[in-house]
Amino acid sequence: MEGLEPLRIEGEVRVKRIRGVSLCGRLPAHVAERQAGSAERLLREAGYRDVEIRREVLRGERAPLSPGSLICLWVESEEPSYLGSDALGEKGKPAEEVGREAAKLLVRQLRTGAPVDLHTADNLILWCSLADGESLFRTSELTLHTLTAIRLAEMITEARFVVKGSLGEPTLIRCQGVGLRR
């Protein structure tokens, strides 16, 4: 069996469209509508015209055990990218704020031009360490989670990483994977 191919995602993100889903369960349907509406407004004000957020109310067997809401946004781009954001509703937090929170985070990441978001970066580390060859990707923000994942991958796999950037800033991550084969 062949090993994993290295990951190379380094170009600037050119957004084709932004998609998302706004969900609520055991709450009135207007909660999902208000979350989505506020996110769409902020994204359009930031210059993104092709924005579509699906509204969904979870009922019946799909309903959660307790009331809650969330919104999840993602970017569809011309080149490979892994960019998204989300926000959770909470008691006393207006639905409009939940939508704005997710949209602001996505816009902030898009402004960096990096094709990998701050939450996906740490999930790519182990796969890059196991790949056969050099992986390279730019993330919108270096987090402690990513630095921890790098340190663990180095200890477990003996892969080598080079991090060009600082905590809280856009960062280029290189990894010479170990070429694990089955």
Hunting for tokens 């924005």 — which residue is that? 51
Radius of gyration of the chain (CA): 19
**Cα 46–chain centre separation:** 18
What is the C-alpha to C-alpha distance for residues 47 and 100, in angstroms, rounded to an integer?
15
Q: Catalytic: which of 104, 145, 160, 174?
A: 145
Q: Are strands 51-58 and 15-25 parallel, antiparallel or unpaired?
A: parallel
Hunting for tokens 């990951």 — which residue is that? 7
Specify whether 119 is catalytic.
Answer: no
Residues annotated as catalytic are: 145
